[in-house]
Amino acid sequence: MSGFWQRTKSLKEEKSEDCSMNKATKILLTISLTSFLASLTGALWGFFLPVGAIFFGLFMIFNALGTETELFDAEQRARMAKAAESIPSPERLQGTQSLVPIAATSNQ
């Protein structure tokens, strides 16, 4: 039963990480659009237009890398699962003899 709860906890953590990435892109887009609209009013045009452009660039980078990080995380989880399957369990090793390395022999 503890395995079930650990898996549930890890799923919640994965979802919270996905939400934070999504939240970050939404915040960047909101700041970008707000500063662009503020630049249209004419007040502090020289400040709001570059700020909007910078935050829009950050939004584009976060948006582009968001899908890549999801693919990378999925690939790493698959690799870790495969590695965990290849580790022999103690139950499987009980019947085997201990492995002793063979010393290198020299032909003299």
Domain count, the chain: 1
> Do the domain assignments include residue 59?
yes
> Do the domain assignments include residue 29?
yes
> Do the domain assignments include residue 97?
no
Contact between 65 and 22 under an 8 Å Cβ cutoff? The reply is: no
Q: Which domain holds residue 26?
A: 17-90
Can you list the residues of the chain whose pLDDT is less than 70? 1-21, 89-108
> Do the domain assignments include residue 84?
yes
> Do the domain assignments include residue 32?
yes
> Do the domain assignments include residue 12?
no
Handedness of CA 13, 15, 21, 24 (dihedral sign): negative
Give the pTM: 0.53
Q: What is the pLDDT of residues 64-84, one digit of tens each?
A: 888 888 888 889 999 998 888
> Do the domain assignments include residue 101?
no
Q: What is the DSSP letter of 94?
A: T
> Do the domain assignments include residue 56?
yes
pLDDT at 41: 86
